[in-house]
Structure 1
Amino acid sequence: MSTLLPCKIIDNQPLHYVDKGDGPALIFCHGLLANSQIWQVQIAALSAHYRCIAIDFWGHGQSQTIPKACENLQDVAQQILSLMDMLEIKNSVLIGHGSGGAIATEMVLLAPARIHGLVMLNSFVGFEPQVNCIKYQGYMAQIANQQAISTELATTLSEMFFTKNAGKLSHQDSTLAIEMSLFTEQLTQVNPAQIAPLLKFANMAIFKRDTLESVEALTLPTLIAVGLQGHLRTALESYLMHDCIDGSQLLHIEHAGHLANIEKSDFFNQHLVDFLSKVNFN
């Protein structure tokens, strides 16, 4: 049984999070269908020098509810800023994965003085392409109909989160096989009580607003990382964000998909440590 994470009551609902280490604050924001566990390797590498906060967003992990008034990712961003207040964190660097990168960007737009650096891994802040919306809605409909994430669907989703041909490659790569098995198990552990909150969050993430033009005004240090063998995000989307955010860095991660921070953790951590060393937290 996993350890119960601490939580804060935000808009009358418990939001759970990991809080490990001391020093300047890093806030880790996972994407849709993931949870704070995806950041374990990064937290292990960074918590000796930084205070690492990894959130379980609404409907994910141990945060199994969602506030009634939470209607979009801007609302979620404001709630995480409230969490920062409760944890007495004046400023931080945000590290976002997938839709967590969109939430992190909304936080920067809401409170630019409080965010001193931004990392986006396999994220996109523009409108979700229509073909993706239709595909993702299909998966969410399966979850809604079954009131669970079946092993079959979890296996399909897990293969999408890792490098292309991960299913075949895992037969020769035991580490990849273990990583995929753990993620599949995590998906199947979603309980019926959190299905409705998860689906509400999914709808907000899939139909997020377009902030590509807004991010042109960002001036903070930004690292945009993309796994080049992913199913869910394209390198072109990262190029677009890189072009929009003046002075941003673009990192290609070879032989990795959506969860590149897990598949190529050493490579990603190396570049993350280098990026953070150049951020002024004062």
Structure 2
Amino acid sequence: MPVRTFPLNESVMSTLMPHKIIDNQPLYYSDEGHGPVVIFCHGLLANSHMWRAQIDELSTQYRCIAIDFWGHGQTTTIPETTQNLQDVAQHVLTLMDMLNIHSAAIIGHGSGGAIAAELILHAPVRINGLVMLNSFVGFEPQVNCIKYQGLMAEIANKQAISSELAQTISGLFFSKDIEQLITQDATLTAEIEQFSTELTTYSSAQIAALLKFANMAIFKRDTLEFVESLTLPTLVTVGLSGHLRTALESYLMHDSIDGSQLVHIEQTGHLANIEKPTIFNQHLIDFLSKINFN
């Protein structure tokens, strides 16, 4: 689907999020609302803005922390010592300490779900609940590795994300039924345009951090067998019309995590929370209402 690019909204460009220095590099995040803490972890090639509809809905009852991971959004660097997603999970724990957050629920999208799983395996008592959106904690399937490696190779060669490549990425991240969804939701076109445009704003300096993070996300370790030990409330959600994740993966994780809930969202892809925010938000609100935040 052709995606028209346009200048970023001035308020988005001019609003610098707060940050904390972790391993000598600034990690940016948003912090909105009051109440029990919910931490949002985006996946590869997304950023904290992807959670806007969820934060708008939840921030009246929860304190919502949305992170821009290394090389994404306003976080343009990555610590030299960062080698894998386990390290990134430790950075989330460090951020929690810096913000005086003892415990939180974690919502992870894509590789953000893998980071969340690593975080829970490392510090289970600090996580009250887990939501995974189009995530898979096993080895990344070869077909996806090839797709992502091809994208990263083009980014590395050009040291930028061209508008054409941004459109290709958008095509992978949004539903196979996106043309129909647009007719049902007039605001969705603007969301797609903004996602595509944000990809084209990466500087050459930021590209190096993005590529390093991407390598860690694509070749993450398999933690599927370890998540069998998880006992916290868990919601597994997947879009049924996506290009990158499958319903089978969601069944595998649902079967591996005792007592987890499984939700399939029809006609949505990798960014199901943007494509059908009302449906995703309702599942999220219902799930969070049942968590015992301590």
- TM-score for the superposition, normalised by structure 1: 0.97
User: Which aligned runs of 4 or more in structure 1 are off by greater than 4 angstroms?
Assistant: 167-173
Cα deviations across residues 28-69 of structure 1 (Å, max 9, x unaligned)? 000000000000110010011111000000000010000000
How far, CA to CA, are the matches of 1:158 and 1:194 in structure 2? 20
Amino acid in the other structure paired with 1:215 = V
- 8 Å Cα contact 2:68-2:75 kept in structure 1: yes
In the TM superposition, residue 169 of structure 1 has moved relative to its aligned partner by: 6.0
Distance in 1 between the 2:189 and 2:228 partners? 40
Task: Verify: 1:91 aligned to 2:103, yes or no.
Answer: yes
Count of residues in Structure 1 that have an aligned counterpart in Structure 2:
282
Of 223, 226, 232, the residue aligned with 1:211 is 223
CA RMSD of aligned residues (A): 1.2
User: Residue 199 of structure 1 is aligned with which of 211, 222, 236?
Assistant: 211
Candidates 105, 112, 126, aligned match of 2:117: 105
Residues 76-116 of structure 1: CA deviation (Å, up to 9, x unaligned): 00010000000000000000000000000100000000001
Aligned pair partner of 2:169 in 137, 146, 157:
157
Contact between 1:159 and 1:167, CA under 8 Å: does it hold in 2? Answer: no
Q: Is the deviation greater in 132-141 or in 60-69?
A: 132-141
Matches within 5 A, 1:18-37: 18-37=30-49
Residues 1:5 and 2:5 aligned together: no
Task: Give the drift of 1:2.
Answer: 3.4
The 8 Å contact of residues 177 and 241 in structure 2, kept in 1 or not, is answered as no
Give the corresponding residue for 1:64. Answer: 76
Deviations along 1:240-276, whole A, 9 cap, x unmatched?
Answer: 0000000000001011111000111001111100100
Q: For 1:275, what is the secondary structure of its paired residue?
A: helix
Q: Distance in 2 between matches of 1:171 and 1:41?
A: 19
* One-letter amino acid matched to 2:143: V
Matched residues in 2 for 1:238 and 1:39: separation? 21
Contact 2:132 2:235 in 1 (8 A): yes
State the 1:134 CA deviation.
1.6
Aligned to 2:246: 234
Contact 2:76–2:205 (CA<8 Å) still a contact in 1?
A: yes
5+ residue gaps in structure 1? none
Q: Distance in 1 between matches of 2:218 and 2:244?
A: 12
For residues 177 and 106 of structure 2, the distance between their equivalents in structure 1, rounded to whole angstroms, comes to: 31
Distance in 2 between the 1:168 and 1:153 partners?
Answer: 23
Where does the alignment leave 5 or more consecutive residues of structure 2 unmatched?
1-12
Q: Name the residue aligned to 1:275.
A: 287
Do 2:177 and 2:267's aligned partners in 1 also have CA atoms closer than 8 Å? no
Same amino acid, percent of matched pairs: 72
State the AA in 1 paired with 2:225: E
Q: TM-score, normalised by structure 2?
A: 0.94
**1:181-213 deviation per Cα after TM superposition (whole angstroms, max 9, x unaligned):** 111001111111100000000000000000000
Give the Cα separation in 2 of the matches to 1:169 and 1:112.
38
2:51 is matched with which residue? 39
Q: Please tell me the residue identity of whatever aligns with 1:2.
A: S
Establish whether residue 127 from structure 1 lines up as the match of residue 139 from structure 2.
Answer: yes
- Please name the residue that 2:64 is paired with: 52
